[in-house]
Amino acid sequence: MSKKRKLHELKGTIEYAFTGISKDKKWKNQPFYILEIKLENLFSEPKKTLIYVFPNLVSQDLWNTLKSEDYKGKKYLFFCEKRVRGWRLKNWEELC
């Protein structure tokens, strides 16, 4: 049974996204995205950070948005879990 982790709300814009293929035994050959985010609310000054996005953890609509690159120039509220190697995206909400 996996641990229930706290979801953190991070606000910012996506600077760029790139894909990779997992080499981990558990997720062998699964595609994933790494988003470089310019955060606005985590620190006093804007800071860039990485968020990992896996297809089995997010909705199909969110995954399709990443594939079609419709995220450019928009501000989002990211709902993420804090992990040892960074943030893991669970959901996002577009801000006006």
| Residue reference for tokens 């199909």 | 60
Query: Rg (Cα) of the chain, in Å, rounded?
Result: 13
Q: Give CA–CA dist 28/68, Å, rounded.
A: 24
Q: Give CA–CA dist 11/37, Å, rounded.
A: 9
pLDDT computed for residue 20 by the predictor: 84
pLDDT computed for residue 92 by the predictor: 93
Q: Which residues of the chain have pLDDT under 50?
A: 1
The pTM for the full model equals: 0.81
Residue ranges in 15-82 assigned as alpha helix (H)? 60-68
Q: What is the pLDDT of residues 24-48, one digit of tens each?
A: 766 677 888 999 998 887 555 667 8
Q: Which superfamily does 7-95 belong to?
A: Nucleic acid-binding proteins (2.40.50.140)
User: What 3-state DSSP class applies to 26?
Assistant: coil
- Which tokens is 51 given? 């968020």
Q: Give CA–CA dist 96/91, Å, rounded.
A: 17
**Pairing relation of β-strands 75-83 and 31-39?**
unpaired
